[in-house]
Homo-oligomer: A and B are copies of this chain.
Amino acid sequence: MSERFDRGHALLDSIHHGGGAALVDALSDIAPDLSRYIIEFGFGDVYSRPGLSLRDRQLATVAALTAMGTAQPQLVAHMEGALSVGITKEEIIEVVLQMALYGGFPAAMNAVAAARDAFAAWDVRSVQPEK
């Protein structure tokens, strides 16, 4: 693959342990190019730009997906990514609370449900010995 793919794949793996391969696997049956674009363009081009820290980027994404309210699975994944780059659970909830102002209270409530899933997955992984 391209240099952009390699850079994106490495960044995705650094945020989500094994995330690059998992994303490729998840879409390989019917939409392999979608995973390639997410890795090449999303992570290789955009997320790897130097102008903003990964902490800022994950915060921005959690805020946007909470307010949009149409991307529940991706919100869970990015909340895990937020924890992975050092954002605390309390800070994620702060973002969610704030988004009630912009996306409304139902959006914030649904994001709390996403946070519950993300925090539980994170806690399970944190106590497991690394394979």
Residues of A at under 8 Å CB distance from B? 27, 29-31, 33-34, 37-38, 41-42, 45-47, 49, 51-52, 56-57, 59-71, 73-74, 89-91, 93-110, 112, 115-116, 119
Contact among B34, B51, B64 for A63, CB-based, below 8 A: B64
Q: Assuming the A-B contacts A63-B63, A65-B102, A109-B74, are A95 and B31 also in contact, with contact meaning beta carbons closer than 8 angstroms in the complex?
A: no
Count identical subunits in the complex: 6
- Asked if B46 contacts A98 (CB within 8 A), the reply is yes
Closest to A74 in B: B106
A42 to B105, CA, bound (A): 9
A102 to B63, CA, bound (A): 11
